[in-house]
Amino acid sequence: MKKVDKETLKLAAQHLMFEMSDEEYESLLADFDSIISKMKILGEIEGIDDVEPMTFPFDVTNSYLREDIAGEPLTREDALKNAKDIHNGMIGLPRVVK
């Protein structure tokens, strides 16, 4: 398992696209000890590696496909309703090419 230190947490935050203060990283680092130790206990559960990971509550076999009928998509007006900085029906963003 990758060692948890402040740099690891900073890298994760960078990937997640937000920033935290040094104090927040220190506090989270302390919580990680508890998380890692609990997860190590899970590794000791008998038979844990003999089962498949469970990704949903129960198996459902479903052959449903909707009819191939065109539906009404969101209107442009609705799609842009919650965006800021609208120009000519498009969302404005900082210029990429200066």
- Return residues touching other proteins (CB under 8 A): 1-2, 4, 8-9, 12-13, 15-20, 24, 27-28, 31-32, 34-35, 38-39, 41-45, 47-49, 51-58, 60, 62, 64, 66, 74, 78-79, 81-85, 91, 93-94, 96
Of 48 and 70, which CB lies nearer to other proteins in the complex structure? Answer: 48
What is the residue type of 63?
S
Q: At its nearest, how many Å lie between other proteins and the CB of residue 87?
A: 14
For the chain, what is the largest distance between any 2 Cα atoms, rounded to a whole number of angstroms?
62
Beta strands in the chain (DSSP E): 86-87, 90-91
Q: At its nearest, how many Å lie between other proteins and the CB of residue 58?
A: 5
Q: Measure CA of the first residue to CA of the last residue in the chain; give whole Å.
A: 43
CA atoms of 49 and 53, how far apart (whole Å): 9
Of 1 and 70, which CB lies nearer to other proteins in the complex structure? Answer: 1
How is residue 38 written in tokens?
């609990």
